[in-house]
Amino acid sequence: MEMEIITYLFGFIIIFNIALGFSIIFLEHKDASSAWAWLMVLLFIPILGFFLYLIFGKPLSNRKIFTWDTKSKLGVKKAVQAQMRDLEEDRFQFKDERLAEYKDLYYLHLRNDDAILTMGNQVEIFTDGNDKFNALIKDLEKAKNHIHLLYYIIRHDELGQRLADILIKKANEGVEVRLLYDDMGSRRLSRKYIRRLRNSGALVESFFPPKIPKINLKINYRNHRKLAIVDGKVGYIGGFNIGDEYLGESKKFGYWRDTHLKITGDAVLNMQTRFILDWNQASRKDILYEDRFYSAEPKGNVGVQIVSSGPESDWEQIKNGYIKMIMSAKERVYIQTPYFIPDESLRDALRIASLSGVEVNIMIPNKPDHPFVYWATLSHIGDMLNAGARVFIYQKGFMHAKTIVIDGKVASVGTANIDVRSFRLNFEVNAFLYDFGLARRLVDAFHEDVRHSTQMTKKLYERRSLGIRFKESISRLLSPVL
C-alpha cells in the first residue's frame, strides 16, 4: 500500500513538472537560456523547484504597469517624432559637432524608449556617498514647491533619519513631499518611519507591496531606480541608495564606491516624467500634469538622454544602448559594475570589440554581496580575459558603480547592472551622456580606482582552486535566473 502511494506521488510529481515545463517553454515565451535554467531547477529539485519558480520565475502580468496618458499630455510622443525627423533629415543642431557620429545612438533611444535628447544640461559627478548626500540634502533644504524621491533601498538608520528630518521639515513648511520606495528593497523599513513622515503631510508609497504585510514573495520585478527631483529643476540619478552603508560605514563592505549624478537643466523634465509614471503606478493619488512640475530650463552644454527599461517592455532599452555604445568603440571601453553577468548578445559585443583591437577595461568588486552572483561574475570574467580584455578587482571597498564610457566621448551612468536581472527583471533608469569633458572625468575616476585595484590576469585566473571552479560552473548555469 505504501509503495502504491509513493508510486502515485512520484507519478504526480513527474506529471506536474512536465506541465510546468510545458508552461515555461510554450506559454510564457521566456528567453531560451532562462527557460533551460528553470527546466534544470525543476529536474533536479522537483518540489522545491516549483516554489522557487513561484517566487523567482513567475512572469509579470500582461496588464499595463504604467499609465502612459501622462506622456500624451506632456507632448512627449510629438516631441520624439519631431526629433526623429530632424535626425533623419540631418536638421538636428548639435552643440558639439563631434558628437554627430553618435546620431544612431540618439535615434535608438528615441525610437526604443521615447528618450528625448536634451542638449542644455550641467552635470556634476559624485563618487563618494558623503559628497552626494550632503549635496542632495542641501538642495532639499532649498525646496520651495515639491520634492520627489524614488529609491530602491531606504534604511531606518542615521542617514535615513537625517533624510526623514529634512522631509518632515519641508512638508511642515508646505512643500509637497512624495517618497516612493521599493517594498522588497526597503523591506526592513519600519512602520514608525513611514508613519512619522505621513503625519507631517508627506506622501509615502511603496512599489509592488505584498497583499500580506511584510510577506513579499515578489523577488523579481522590483523598482531598482534611484531618482531625486527638487522643484522640477534639479535631479539626481545613479547608484547610491539611502543608508549608512552607502557612506562607507558598513563593517562588511567598508568604503562604498559608487557613481551618482546631479543634473541641472532640461533633462530634469524627463526625469520628472519617469517619477510621475512610477508614482502613479504605486499610488491612488495620481499626480496630474501641472506646469510647476516642469519648470527646468536649459543650463549648460551637456547632452543627456534619460533611458528607462523594465519587464513591462518587449525591448531591453538600456542593454541595447550598452551594446550600441560598445559596437561604436574605436579605442577604449571602460566598464564598472558590481555584477558582470552579460547575456550572449552583450558578451559577444565585448568579445568582438576586444578581439578587433579595442581596449576593453572592466572593474568589479573583490567581495560578494550575493555569493552566487559573484561566482557567476568570475566565470564570465574568464571569457573576457580569453578575448584580451583587461580586468581590475577593486580592493578599497565595495564597487557598486554602474558606469560605461566609450572612447572618452560618451558615457552611461545609472542604476542598471550588467546582468539579466537589470536587463529583463527590474525597473531601471540610466542617464546616457554626450559630452567629451564629462566622459573624460569618468575615465579619470576609473584610472583613480585602478590605483586601488589589482589586475586579474589569465595566469592568476587559471590558478583558482577546484572549489572555486565548481562554484563558478553551478552559478553560471543558474545565471539566467539569478
Asked if 263 and 404 touch (Cβ cutoff 8 Å), the reply is no
Active-site option among 402, 409, 435, 471: 402
Give the whole-angstrom CA distance, residue 331 versus residue 359.
Answer: 6
The DSSP code sequence of 446-481 is HHHHHTTEEEE-HHHHHT--HHHHHHHHHHHHHGGG
Q: 259: Cβ–Cβ under 8 A, 6 or more apart, which residues?
A: 125, 126, 127, 238, 239, 336, 401, 402, 403, 413, 442, 445
Give the whole-angstrom CA distance, residue 481 versus residue 317.
Answer: 20
Active-site option among 71, 224, 260, 380: 224
Q: Look at residue 145 and give its three-state secondary structure.
A: coil
Active-site option among 71, 156, 324, 400: 400
Quote the cell numbers at residue 90.
Answer: 540631418
Give CA angle at 64 (280, 418), nearest 5°.
Answer: 85
Q: Is 330 a catalytic residue?
A: no
Q: Is 226 a catalytic residue?
A: yes
Q: Is 96 a catalytic residue?
A: no
Largest Cα separation within the chain, whole Å, is 82
Active-site option among 226, 260, 324, 380: 226
Q: Is 459 a catalytic residue?
A: no
Asked if 106 and 96 touch (Cβ cutoff 8 Å), the reply is no
Give CA angle at 475 (469, 478), nearest 5°.
Answer: 145
Active-site option among 114, 182, 183, 231: 231
Q: Is 132 a catalytic residue?
A: no
Active-site option among 139, 407, 419, 449: 407
In the chain, count of helices (H) and strands (E)? 17, 16
Quote the cell numbers at residue 124.
Answer: 556634476
Give the whole-angstrom CA distance, residue 401 versus residue 192.
Answer: 31
Treating both helix axes as pointing N-terminal to C-terminal, what angle do 344-355 and 317-328 enclose, rounded to 10 degrees?
10
**Exposed, middle or buried by CB within 10 Å (0-12, 13-18, 19+), for 192?**
exposed
Give the whole-angstrom CA distance, residue 297 versus residue 336.
Answer: 31
Q: How far apart are the first and last CA of the chain?
A: 42
Give the whole-angstrom CA distance, residue 404 versus residue 144.
Answer: 35
Asked if 134 and 221 touch (Cβ cutoff 8 Å), the reply is no
Give the whole-angstrom CA distance, residue 482 versus residue 477.
Answer: 10
Q: Among 277, 407, 437, which Cα is nearest to 330's?
A: 407
Q: Look at residue 410 and give its three-state secondary structure.
A: strand
Q: Is 73 a catalytic residue?
A: no
Catalytic residues: 224, 226, 231, 400, 402, 407
